[in-house]
Amino acid sequence: MKRKIETGMAPEAIGPYSQAIMTEELIFVSGQLPVDAQSGKMPESIREQTRQSLENIRSILEEAGSGMDKIVKTTVLLQHMSDFADMNEVYASFFEKDYPARACFEVAALPKGALVEIEAIAVR
């Protein structure tokens, strides 16, 4: 059985997908753009965009009764691999130990001109 997870604390889906889907054991969080749900705006720097994407993930996981410490895998999409070090520094600040598995890719473009998008899989 699966259940849709949705919160107003993260931006609404901009297409035919859910913010997250929860199963009996796992939560699959869709890629989160760095859009502030309240203002609808996106910060400019890669550091602030990374922070906002991860805050969106945090909000979705909290709505599902989970948290950042329960993330087992992330995928990071970067507009420019030259932003990797700045993204990585902010990313690391969201996890205390036992970092999740991760993949990171440079992509040709991201929706809304974002510099980063992050998706996550967490346990309940």
C-alpha neighbours within 13 Å on the C-beta side of residue 118 = 29
Q: Could you give the 3-state DSSP secondary structure of residue 60?
A: helix
pLDDT in tens, 50-108: 999 999 999 999 999 999 999 999 999 999 999 999 999 999 999 988 899 999 999 99
As a CATH number, domain 3-123 is 3.30.1330.40
pLDDT in tens, 5-46: 999 999 998 889 999 999 999 999 999 999 999 999 999 999
Domain boundaries, the chain: 3-123
